């Protein structure tokens, strides 16, 4: 692939995603967050991109990390988890960013309960991937790199 301007990507995971593997595995899969993060770092290495990961159960900490990302990284992947459906604060933090943002959900939020159908944060994102399990994160990573790569 030709040179990419995407040098570093941050992956943010919201509340309860630290329990992946044990949390409703029939919905979220059996992979732990550590498994997913390790796979993302490895995929980043293969694409020549530095991948950092961050998880918090606290809305304010997620806002702080998004604000920090503005100075530090070239792209953001975020699964805001339950805050997807409620958080004006996360939406506003994402709106301040000048970098591409991909919102990822492990499950297909549109075929679940009605309250999950609405995302407060998606209008602040470049795009969204939902329902593809952990592959959604890997595809988001690849998309960010492709979006920042000069066509041959
Ligand atoms: C989720 C979907 C949300 O509705 C839920 O609250 C989560 C995980 C997903 O990845 O499918 O915690 O973001």
Query: Whole-model pTM?
Result: 0.96
C-beta atoms surrounding 117 within 10 Å = 11
**Alpha carbons 66 and 35: distance in angstroms, whole number:** 23
Measuring CA to CA, which residue among 31, 10, 64, 17 is closest to residue 134?
A: 31
Q: What is the pLDDT of residues 11-56, one digit of tens each?
A: 999 999 999 989 999 999 899 999 999 999 999 999 999 999 999 9
Q: Ligand 1: residues within 6 Å at CB?
A: 16, 79, 81-82, 84, 105-107, 109, 116
**Alpha carbons 74 and 45: distance in angstroms, whole number:** 15
Q: 14, 116, 132, 139: which to mutate for ligand 1, most atoms within 8 A of CB?
A: 116
CATH 1.10.1520.10 fits 8-150, yes or no: no
Is residue 152 over pLDDT 70?
no
**Alpha carbons 54 and 37: distance in angstroms, whole number:** 9
The pLDDT confidence band at residue 131, using thresholds 50, 70 and 90, is very high
- Residues known to be catalytic: 28, 105
Nearest CA to ligand 1 atom 1: 81
The pLDDT confidence band at residue 151, using thresholds 50, 70 and 90, is low
């Amino acid at each position: 692939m030709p040179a990419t301007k995407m040098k570093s990507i941050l992956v943010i995971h919201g509340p309860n995603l630290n329990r992946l593997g044990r949390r409703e595995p029939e919905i979220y899969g059996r992979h732990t967050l550590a498994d997913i993060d390790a796979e993302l770092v490895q995929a980043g290495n293969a694409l020549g991109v530095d991948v950092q990961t961050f998880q918090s159960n606290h809305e304010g900490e997620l806002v702080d990390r998004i604000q920090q990302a503005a100075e530090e990284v070239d792209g953001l992947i975020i699964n805001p988890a339950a805050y997807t459906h409620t958080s004006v604060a996360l939406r506003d933090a994402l709106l301040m960013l000048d970098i591409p943002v991909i919102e990822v959900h492990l499950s297909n939020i549109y075929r679940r309960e009605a309250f999950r159908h609405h995302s407060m944060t998606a209008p602040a994102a470049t795009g969204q991937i939902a329902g593809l399990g952990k592959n959604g994160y890997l595809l988001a990573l690849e998309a960010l790199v492709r979006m920042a790569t000069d066509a041959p």
